[in-house]
Structure 1
Amino acid sequence: MNSYFKPTSAAAIVVTATATSAIAELKYENNSGGYVELYGQFNPALISVDDGQETETRVLDNDLSNSRVGLRLMQPFGTNEFTFRFETGLGLPGSASADQFGTNSDGWSREDIRHVDFALKGGWGKFSAGQGSMASDGAAEVDLTYVGTALYSFTNDENSSFFYRGTDGVLSDITIGDSSSNFDGSRRGRIRYDTPDFNGFLAAIAYGQNILSSSDDDDYYDISLGYQSTFAGGAEFKAALAYAVRSRDDNSGDRKDTIGSASVLLPSGLGVTFAAGTRDEDEAGVSDPSFWYGKLSYEGDWIAWGKTGVGIDYYDGSDFETDGSSTQAWGIAVVQRIDSINTDAYLKYRNHDFDDGTSFDKNAAWVLGARWRF
């Protein structure tokens, strides 16, 4: 079923966000140190995608960080903390569902559920169970920069379902999403253990299954290591490394991902971010792609509204979709914080180029959006 998120709907969301910016934090604290908190966000964006010969412009929910609502609960339990988190996307027509033929969305489904997560945390670490992040989730997307709100190592949010168009005018069957990825970890129904912080080092291990999909009976397991510190002089550094395996139920072969990323933010506002990854497919006839990504950014408090961030990035991928193929993507963005309404407004340009021996036009996208959080 084709549906469209009308511009009037997006305008209504922005107006609502502005009108309700003064709402108090939706948090209830009890007399034993615990609390319950309701939170969420809206992230509508005007997205225009040019496939080289035709341009499609729509207002959509930005799947870079989709609109969602959630509930957090925390309760002290002896010397430990018990937490529960429920979070779901709203099922609005999203940027990942749009292509040259329209916007395909059937509304909310159970696959929009992001977290149904129980956890117990203490001096011994943290144990989690339920739908939530695997250990490798975020390992390819470490980013200390403010412009990372719109510009980060996954480069396909605005146009992942769009097909590359041949220079002869014919649409191929290869999408932007087919031609690039950062292999970042997923959310699954899982059990997970996180170690305590050891002088800035953290490790995690998890095992899970895709309980939200009736067609995926594969097993997922991964391990990660992270580090974060602020050095003398105020320079911030954060990095992560992860190894993840998808063990296929049909015995067609395992998929093994090795990913990592690091980010530095200097007191001057200058930021540098890097990510890289490889995918090893045991399945016969499937290529083993790899990528690297880099970003240079700068941020500061230049106007009274709030912080401003600007950045430019570059993505280079190999062997996606077919052996010997190459993928390049670059982007530039500016993000503006509007403190008075708790909103991040952003403007981004993204350009994709894919080469597998066939002549394709480049695919370009403009994105103008605003993320309001409550």
Structure 2
Amino acid sequence: MLRFVRLVAVLFALALIGCARPSVPPVPPLTFVQSDVDAKDMVKRLSPRGQSLSSWQELAPALERSLAFTAVKPRAGVALEGDGLTLTWGQLHDSIAKLLEILPRLDAEPELLTENFAWFRLTQGVLMTGYYVPYVEASSVRTAEYRYPIYGLPDDLRKLDLGEFHPRWKGQRLIYRVEHGEAVPYPERAEIDFEGALSGRGLEIAWARDLVDVFFLQIQGSGLLHFPDGSRHLVGYAGKNGHRYVSLGRVLVRRGLMDLEHVSMKSIREYLAAHPEEVPALLSTNPSYVFFRLGEDGPVGAMGKMLTPKVSMATDPKFLPLGSLLAFEADLPPEAPGEDDSHVAGLGLAQDTGGAITGARVDWFCGSGPEVEFFAGHIKNPASIHLLVSKEVLK
């Protein structure tokens, strides 16, 4: 009992220190404004073709996954508490059910979206980025060729929801481990990748050929491992070490190694390949570390459900909770080198989260494999985002 009291006291001390850090300012709440004029105008431009769909009815499987997720949430529980809008899980659930109800008629009657839904525009400038499921050359055993570990979730990683102790810490979690009866931060990337902090514990679920591949796998959150025998194995997000995410692209720009307008996944990879001696130091600038689990079907998002290419979106759940129905519009880069820029106006579903996805930002899931890497890696565009809520639940 005394040991537990001591642990809790240490955790509170760490929490207070973390809350006091001026370098991590709180993210302001998103502001929602209902806009019928915007809705009627945007509905005219909505098209399933921009999402590689032949009909809006193809949204049904993805909507059913969101419906199943919200169905197990407490109906009266608050899912969204923003400036100008508060919603319960029950209201989100019923909004999804309403869209499923009208979906068979939506191709011929797009105006049903304005007749049945209130459109709440995010007034902040929203940044839209893209992500995909990468392929990683890997092996189930360590060899001279495959020597970089892909770690599963360590059994000594602990989480504490600080909001259970005080309202001002709502939404904050402390991730730690216990060493000699005291709570200590979990190792950072440099300690794990370059100092062997987790080696010898049997946590490896696979071994990769390239450390940079592992780094980008962690940024994406899931991937397909290609084994030498030709088999493929899905890996999905299992947890993280609790340290803040630092963008390597921003580090390269800040150090004068790359121009901001040229930063992309491809350009970062090219820089690291051309400067292998800098790889350890550069990767270590991002202390955040992601752990994985092996799966069978996927890719799977934070809902625990399969993601749908060009439909599923990763959002900050504190502002756009999982299950949110989104109408989005943006000018996007070409899908492949040499092609023209594109414009998309479509319907997205908040079905995933990400350590780097905070505040007014949405991350669009673009699919799997190298054929979508160029497109996903170059999306960094302003977007117009509306949250759709059934008018019936607002009565």
Fold equivalence (TM over 0.5):
no
TM range (shorter): under 0.3
Normalised by the length of structure 1, the TM-score is 0.25
Structure with the greater relative contact order (CA < 8 A, sep ≥ 6): 1 or 2?
2
- Give the strand-richer structure, 1 or 2: 1
- Give the helix-richer structure, 1 or 2: 2
